[in-house]
Structure 1
Amino acid sequence: MGAIEPTDRGTAAPRTEQWYRCSVEQTLANLQTGTTGLSPEEAQARLLHEGPNALPGKAADPAWLRFARHFNDVLIYILLAAAVATALMGHWTDTLVILAVAVINAAIGFFQENKAEKSLAALRGMLSSTAHVVRNGQKMEIDASELVPGDLIALRPGDKIPADVRLIEVHHLQVEESMLTGESLTVSKQVEALDAEAQLADRTNLGFSGTNISAGNAKGVVIATGAHTELGKINRMIATVDESETPLLRQIALLGKRIFQLILGMMVALFVIGFFWHDYPFGELLLSLISLAVASVPEGLPAIVSIILSLGVQRMARNKAIIRKLPTVENLGAMSVICSDKTGTLTMNEMTVKNVLTASNIFAVEGQSYEPRGRVTLAGATEPVVWAEHGNLAAFVRAVDICNDASLQRGDDGRWSVVGGPTEGALKVLARKAELPQAEVERFAKIPFDSAYKYMARRCDVDGESLIYLKGAPDVLLRMCDRQLGADGIQPLDRAYWEREMGHIASQGLRMLAAAYKPTPGAGHEIDHDDLQQGMVFLGVAGLMDPPRPEAIEAIAMCRQAGIQVKMITGDHPDTAVAIAGMLGMGNDLRAMTGQELEQTSDADLKAVAMQYSVFARTSPEHKLRLVRALQASEQVVGMTGDGVNDAPALKQADVGIAMGIKGTEVTKEAADMVLTDDNFSTIANAVREGRRVYDNLKKTVLFVLPTNMAQGLLIVMAILAGAVVPLSPLQILWMNMATSTTLSFALAFEPGEPGMMKRPPRDARESILNGFAVWRVLFVGGLLTTAAFQLESWMVAGGQDTDHIRTMILHTLVTAQWAYLFNCRLQDQFSLNAGLLRNVALLTVTLGLILLQCLVIYVPFMQTAFHTVALPFSSWLIALGIGVLVFFAVELEKLVIRRWKERR
């Protein structure tokens, strides 16, 4: 390809994704650098032009502004207006109580929901702190933030690559890039230019900022720094993703607007009626209208919602799911699609040998991950193999164990891990499972693995016999062998057999690795490639895979039963991804859409395609983000799981971002809404169940709170229309709303999930929490409470009771009836007493608390003065309880009628 145009300054690196298509000479020329590196003066000039090699931060809003935002709600506006009006009228007690309610609600929202945005800071922490650079031919160590395009850097095992580089010299370089690409294997790097377009995972001549050197050495020239690196692109995507509002918050906001419009219209109409028709004194009418506003506003609802969500968060934390953002709990209940990364999320992220193919048999290998436990059996058999009867199998295992640079170790926590590449680690685990007799091995020279020739070789003495072992790609080794080790000894190579059987292994989505050997009697200790060209004996092929998590299979089945689609989005090969998806039970007739196909699909077409496919392979961070947005455009509530940095933007865009807590990076955890502390996919299914329970309880709470507000509002409206005294004062209404409604509804937060909850489909996130049935229930119960209060008032007025006594009795009766209605709300459709009192001990607790609060407001002198109440005799308690029982059975009768009407339909 032609030279890339330099920037307008003429010294800095061009910002392009095409560096992998440039030769080393082109790259150096375009960057205007050479083998001796930049001069200090030129490096300083480029640093001033390009800026430091660091990711830009994001200024956080001050605490006062974040707190003030919680007053930005129409319901709070009504309260604040009421507080101003009462202050102007000199009712300071009313003013202080109303303001206290508004401030308490804001404080709850501030402390419960306002989490510091740390994902960008965590991402910046992934950059390397130092770099080994060549300037003016001199090697030096500098702060990584001072790197500029055109710098030559040296890379060694264990290094974190400090910037995006074009590799110009490599020596057996292996790089672990799963944080960016999702690939579970280390990547072998080379320096030759690539002819065709390549996805990120296939750009084998580039090194990316933040990835780790697993083995080998290299030199490279910096092509991008800071925000222009691949890590910087992810940083920009995270920074530009807007926080999505949950369905419940949208509905609560809409409910607030509707209530505001209703109150405003009613206040205007009632002012006209009261002032011009009934000749109400202006001050008294204004106080009555303030009572109407306070009565109609469910000011306790935000606090109740926060409390219920907080309790859901605590329950989930005990069940290994940490919720970072409070509304996530409700979103879980509406989730209809889970987009899951494969590596480390649905799979173990630990390569495992699943079978071994020899010239005579296929053997199955049991066990998961790196734990060296599991039997080796003949395929289809149940008994473990007798190793003495399968000499060619033992020879294969010995070969891959000795021709191997990895080691297996067990940590203090009992978890097994591998030092070295995951593929070689899996072969070490196989050798431990085999439990072969200990051999005396003396290792000599080796030829390290290199992607140029795709094998590794080692010369050694095993029990006194001089051998060369060879391990690598099956197609390469087959070309190098003319014989094979059969059950009865060495025999001619049957290439057709190996190709046929390896085709079966490949169809299972397994990666393959072959081994061969060669006796070298009397030879020396050195080895070169010529030693491998004749006399090699093919031993066999291992089929390896990153196995599915067993618990993920069960969790996916549970999600599908609950009507939740599961989609795999991975950077891995399409065939491997489809095979793993089949093992996970993600569906029949599975097909994979690749990242390249996705790039060629328009946003409009992707909206439909995203729903049709269950597997997306060879994807980049941009692809994952587009897929989440496409699903959201189809009105889906999307959950996205992941553990790598490449998952972070999609996690933040998703309605529910789910990070793995053990293997997940800090970036992923900070970008996510939920972190799984056990990295167990089944925890997601449990979290969905909890989310549905929480939403059910939130809906029950709304249906519990609103009828009381309606009843209070109707009492005031009817009193003004009739030209009578308003039955309740503003403070009495606030007492009922905050002290009793909040206290009683607290019990609903502890209601267990209803039967069959995980067998119903996800709710429609667009459906209002106040659907037709809910509106009817609010009207029905509100009407019951209003009728009961007016009948009681008429009876007491006829009996000659004074105003304070009547108001106290109406207050107490409404509170008692509301307590009785609480039991109606426990089950949405069934007879509420079937739920059983002992299933929710909180009911007894709030009942005792309510009795105590009512005694305080009715019998304590300073409370009587503040709230204009009087002491009530015990007979009044019995009357209020009787009215409450009538309300309870009236609502249960209504539920029975509606249930039978639905059954007939």
Structure 2
Amino acid sequence: MADKKWFTLSHEEVERELETSKQTGLNSEAVDKRKEEYGLNKLPEDEQTPEWVKFLKQFNDILIYILLAAAVVTFFLGQYIDTAVILLVAVVNGVIGYVQESKAEKALEGIKNMLSLEAMVLRGEQKAEVDSIEIVPGDIVILNSGDKVPADLRLFEEHKLKVEESPLTGESTSVEKQTDKLDEDTPLGDRTNMVFSGTTVSSGKARGIVVETGESTEIGQINRSMNEVEEIKTPLLKQTDKFGKTISVVILVLAVLLFIAGLLIHDYEWGELLLSVISLTVASIPEGLPAILTIILALGVQSMADKHAIMRTLPSVETLGAVTVICSDKTGTLTKNEMTVQSVVTREKAYTVTGLGYEPEGKILDEKEKAVDVAEENDLKELLTAAKTVNEADIYKKGDQWEVSGDPTEGCLITLAEKSNVDIETLAIQSKIPFDSEYKYMAGLVEESNLKKIYIKGAPDRLFDMAGLGSEERAYWEEKMSERSKKGERVLAVGLKEVSEATDRIGHDDVQSGITLLGLTGIIDPPREEVIEAIKVCKEAGIQVKMITGDHKETALAIARELGITDQDKVTEGRELDELSEEEIRSLVEEVDVFARTSPQNKLQLVGALQNNGHVSAMTGDGVNDAPALKRADIGVAMGIKGTEVAKEASEMVLADDDFSTIVNAVREGRRVYDNLKKTILFILPTNGAEALLVMAALMLGIEMPLTPVQILYVNMITAVTIALALAFEPLEKGTMSKPPRDPDERLLSPYYVFRIIFVSVLIGGAIMWINQGLLAGYDSQHLNTITLHSLVFAQLFHLFNVRNERHFSLNDQFFDNKAAFLVSGLLIVFQLLVTYVPFLSNALGLYPIELNYWVYPVLVGLGVFVIVEIEKFITHKVLKKIKVRE
């Protein structure tokens, strides 16, 4: 039944359609039958992945497969120490991945927690409180203030009903409900004859017919949308997958060719040859790379957490650096979700009001922007007294936050009165007319200085009629109302009527005429002050910002202009999107920056269209209605303070301070992390390249292996988890936030990176081979292996300082900025001394405790690499600069 538009039917038609009775409800037999037909009123359980499966998934990488295959072969060849070390490396990588990248999906659980536990229903003419899961279509549900709505209901009776729907629709104020049927194209936020599962009754009472339960409700459809949303792989994961497959193919082809060449050319014994080929395989695999990438991402997560951006998955950190468009919800994200009076208009004057939110800090200013003495402004003082007196809300401080108890619109009027420079009295109400959506006003009878009067506030059009304005006066007030509305403000009118001293009760008839209009108040959910600068920074960084909200288009456009999101008049509503094809939406989303009155499905369509256009999208939001789009986006960003648990669990990032500008800091950090990841790859791979060249040269020349598999693994891991780690702390390079986002499809290794990796690999491998076969010819294998191992390590130690600055001279004014580089360099030297001179460590690795003079060779190799690479960088920079000038 989920496709049926119940809001287009009268409640009598709904009653007939569902074969129920508004007076008696369903009998027990009908309830049982419908339970069988429709099932229980709950969302389907999501199958949980066992923890051991999550752990095993960490090994689902082609490079790890090759490593494990090498472990199996060494085991059958009796090389048990090699087997143990290889397996240990694989397990360490798996544990790090499991701990840091656990992706338990809790979003559906968060939705379930929103559902009502119990509900009051009418069954067999008797009221009964039942578990919400027992409710079926056709049940008559009775709602009172504070109740959580248990299912989707079509209302047939209501009394001053207001429902808080912001988690579902994005509306910033409670929605007034009614019972008449609506047009077929009415968007979700305007379906005022319906109430939806998971929303809350803020005031009033009502009765309604259950029309949808469980997965068929609006929340259920969001739940289903989230299940159907395809998980988007981050740019880094796509790149590393491709990178891993390429390296794997190269390694396997090379290993097979060398095995064949070894048998044909040098007539090696096949077991010895196989062990040598395994050495080549282990040397070529950057097994330390997954661990160090994970650690760098984890450090990025910690850095972002310190800046109030909580990342829920590691790869999302670098994805932020590639974001090209941020799709932002309005309420609570770009705005404070705190109604604020920004303007007051009386018969003769206009005032502006400073201060935002419910905090009673601010001033009332005149047209010259001078603070007003309210005691001298009779109309203004009377208006403030009326607004504060005829009011059922209150404001209070909770921790550092000011909050409202009651209707947000009424709460902001209390705040307005508190901003007066004189105390505004709350007069005792002797009789009142409560707010009624049919009349659209509320009034109270008060007595002041032996004078009785009625204060009234409500919709301007209603009060204009009650005041009996002349055409000229009405034109004045309507012009003022129009000015405020065009600025996205919600306008309320305030008036009074003097009555006789004998009056002690009032009714609607008492206020239908004779009202004196005191003035208008312009109310808005104000934009966050810091967001304007954040959006400016986004645009400088080549990142588009689009507003996608459930609010009205006038309000959305006014806020978007104030924030600098758009300077156009273009706004597209959800109902317009519903009529467009996929191709038309893809074209429209590039032209329009503001989308209003959108449904959850519209948000999903827009994010999908942007992704189909090649964008890397971030979607911000705080409500349940945002959850599917948050999950679909490349980066879902939820509000930490005012966001629902559903939104948080569907996101990759949670803003702990609900500050849009935190996203900009996160993007900055994402770009830094990605740059440092690339530098890490540029640093690590020459080690593998040099090791592979040494093994290949030994095989082709028929000489003894310069390193054993265990020694190779040691070099790879020790350089990855010590000196490579220093690159994680490199600061953001200047000008990075002035560049456009990187292409998400760009190769992880640019042509220059490939050249540099090959160049440094040959440089290190060639230097070590020259020392081994020239200067140290005739030494035993333990001597050679030890010097080779230290030469590789020292070459990487010096190469670290080359990599810190990709194309510029390393010995610059920022040389000492990264203290971690010097700390880990010292640690590495300590490790090298330990594995050389502590007997049980040197024996395990097969090393010889070399004499002091032999340390000259590793130091010379390292120093030579540093100097030659710096020369190469200088030449490359000059050449590329010339090419750029010619272009």
- In the superposition, the TM-score normalised over structure 1's length comes to 0.96
Q: Which segment drifts farther, 501-510 or 727-736?
A: 501-510
Query: For residues 255-334 of structure 1, what are the structure 2 equivalents within 5 Å?
Result: 255-334=243-322
Q: Indicate if the aligned counterparts of 2:385 and 2:424 stay in contact, CA closer than 8 A.
A: no
CA 1:782–1:835: 2 relative to 1, 3 Å: farther
What's the counterpart of residue 202 of structure 2? 214
**What is the aligned partner in structure 1 of residue 129 from structure 2?**
141
CA distance in 2, matches of 1:781, 1:691: 28
SS state at 2:58 partner: helix
In 2, Cα distance between the equivalents of 1:169 and 1:50?
A: 25
Match of 2:410 in 1: 424
- Name the amino acid aligned to 1:769: L
Are 1:440 and 1:463, in contact at CA under 8 Å, matched by a contact in 2?
no
CA–CA distance in structure 2, aligned partners of residues 339 and 17 of structure 1: 30
Structure 2 counterpart of 1:467:
453
Query: What residue is the counterpart of 2:381 in the other structure?
Result: 394
Residue in structure 2 matched with residue 363 of structure 1 by the alignment: 351
**What is aligned with 2:440?**
454
Structure 2 counterpart of 1:868, which letter? G
Is residue 2:331 matched to residue 1:353? Answer: no
Corresponding residue number in structure 1 for 2:582: 603
- SS of 2:521's equivalent in the other structure is strand
Per-residue CA deviation, residues 534-563 of structure 1 (Å, 9 max, x unaligned), is: 211111111111000011111111111111
| Alpha-carbon distance in structure 1 between the residues aligned to 2:145 and 2:863 | 76
Say which of 599, 610, 623 aligns to 2:602. 623
User: Aligned partner of 2:447: which letter?
Assistant: D
Over 3 Å counting, the alpha-carbon distance change for 1:433 and 1:55 in structure 2 is same
Residue of structure 2 aligned with 1:857, choices 813, 830, 835: 835
In structure 1, the partner of 2:513 is 534
Give the direction of change, closer, same or farther, for the CA distance of 1:716–1:447 in structure 2 (3 Å limit).
same
Q: 2:428 matched to which residue of 1?
A: 442
Please give the per-residue CA displacement for 1:94-132, whole angstroms capped at 9, x wherever unaligned.
111111111111111111101321110111000011101
What letter corresponds to residue 747 of structure 1 in structure 2? Answer: A
The offset of 1:881, in angstroms, is 1.1
Q: Secondary structure at the match of 2:2?
A: coil
Alignment match, 1:555 = 534
RMSD: 1.5
Q: List aligned pairs for 1:580-591, cutoff 5 A.
A: 580-591=559-570
2:584 aligned partner, one-letter code: D
Farther-moved stretch of structure 1 (774-783 vs 853-862): 853-862
- 8 Å CA contact retained: 2:297, 2:318: yes
Stretch of structure 1 that moved more, 45-54 or 541-550: 45-54
Q: Residues of 2 paired with 1:399 and 1:650: CA distance?
A: 43
Task: Please tell me whether residue 889 in structure 1 is matched to residue 877 in structure 2.
Answer: no
| Counterpart contact for 2:687–2:761, Cα < 8 Å | yes
Counterpart mapping for 1:662-677 below 5 A: 662-677=641-656
Q: Which residue of 1 aligns with 2:167?
A: 179
Q: Does structure 1 conserve the Cα–Cα contact (< 8 Å) formed by 2:385 and 2:425?
A: no
Task: State the partner residue of 1:406.
Answer: 393
DSSP 3-state at the match of 1:630 = helix
Residue pair 1:356, 1:540 contacting (<8 A) in 2 also: yes
1:487 maps to what in 2?
none
1:125-163 deviation line (CA, Å, top 9, x unaligned): 000111011101111111111111111111111111111
Q: Distance between the aligned counterparts of 1:278 and 1:672, measured in 2?
A: 59
> Aligned to 1:243, which of 231, 238, 249?
231
The equivalent residue for 2:876 is 898
Contact 1:559 1:566 in 2 (8 A): yes
| Structure 1, unaligned runs of 5 or more | 1-13, 485-491
Letter in 1 for 2:809: F
- The letter of the residue matching 1:390 is E
Q: Secondary structure at the match of 1:494?
A: helix
Q: Aligned runs of 1:215-230 on 2, under 5 Å?
A: 215-230=203-218
Letter in 2 for 1:739: I
Alignment match of 1:753 (pick from 732, 743, 755): 732
- The alignment partner of 1:822 has SS state of helix
Tell me which of 355, 359, 371 is aligned to 1:384: 371
Q: 1:17 and 1:823 mapped to 2: Cα distance?
A: 67
Residue aligning to 1:728: 707
AA aligned opposite 1:665: T
| Pair 1:193 & 2:171 matched | no
| Mapping 1:72-83, distance limit 5 Å | 72-83=60-71
Pick one of 762, 765, 770 that aligns with 1:786. 765
Q: Secondary structure at the match of 1:416?
A: strand
Cα offset, 1:809, TM superposition: 0.8
Give SS of 1:808's match. Answer: helix
Aligned to 1:489: none
| Structure 1 residue 747: Cα displacement | 0.9
- Deviations along 1:392-444, one digit per CA (max 9) or x if unpaired, are 12222222222221112222x13211111111111111111124445472212
Residue 3 (structure 1) aligns with: none
CA deviation vs aligned residue, 1:77-107 (integer Å, no higher than 9, x gap): 1111111111111111111111111111111
Tell me by how many angstroms 1:493 deviates: 6.5
Other-structure match for 2:795: 817
- The answer to whether the 8 Å contact 1:351/1:423 transfers is yes
Whole-angstrom CA distance in 2 between matches of 1:902 and 1:654: 37
Shift of 1:837: 4.7
- TM-score where L is the length of structure 2: 0.98
**Structure 2 residue 549 is the aligned partner of structure 1 residue 570:** yes
Contact 1:21 1:195 in 2 (8 A): yes
Equivalent position of 1:713 in the other structure: 692
1:612 corresponds to: 591
On the 8 A contact 1:837/1:843 being kept in 2, the answer is no
Given that 2:374 and 2:421 are in contact with CA atoms closer than 8 Å, whether structure 1 keeps it comes out as no
- 2:628 aligns with 649
Give the length in aligned residue pairs: 882
Whether the aligned pair in 1 keeps the contact of 2:764 and 2:861 (CA below 8 Å) is: no
Aligned residue in 2 for 1:847: 825
Report % sequence identity. Answer: 49
Greater CA deviation, 461-470 or 813-822? 461-470
Which stretch of the first structure deviates more once superposed, 413-422 or 289-298?
413-422
1:689 and 2:668 correspond = yes
Shift of 1:781: 0.9
1:678, 1:647 → 2: CA distance?
18
What is the match of residue 701 of structure 1? 680
Q: What is aligned with 1:808?
A: 786
Deviation, 1:17, is 4.0
In 1, Cα distance between equivalents of 2:236 and 2:401 = 41
Q: Distance in 1 between matches of 2:739 and 2:585?
A: 28
1:512 to 467, 482, 491: 491
Find the counterpart in structure 2 of residue 501 from structure 1: 480
Determine the C-alpha separation between the residues in 1 that align with 2:184 and 2:432: 34
* Candidates 466, 481, 485, aligned match of 1:480: 466
Inter-partner Cα distance in structure 2 for 1:390 and 1:301: 72
SS of alignment partner, residue 456 of structure 1: strand
- How far does residue 304 in structure 1 lie from its aligned partner after superposition? 0.5
Cα distance in 2 for residues equivalent to 1:593 and 1:197? 15
Q: For 2:568 and 2:423, how far apart are their aligned partners in 1?
A: 46
Shift of 1:835: 5.5
- Please give the alpha-carbon distance, in whole angstroms, between the structure 1 residues aligned to 2:16 and 2:813: 78
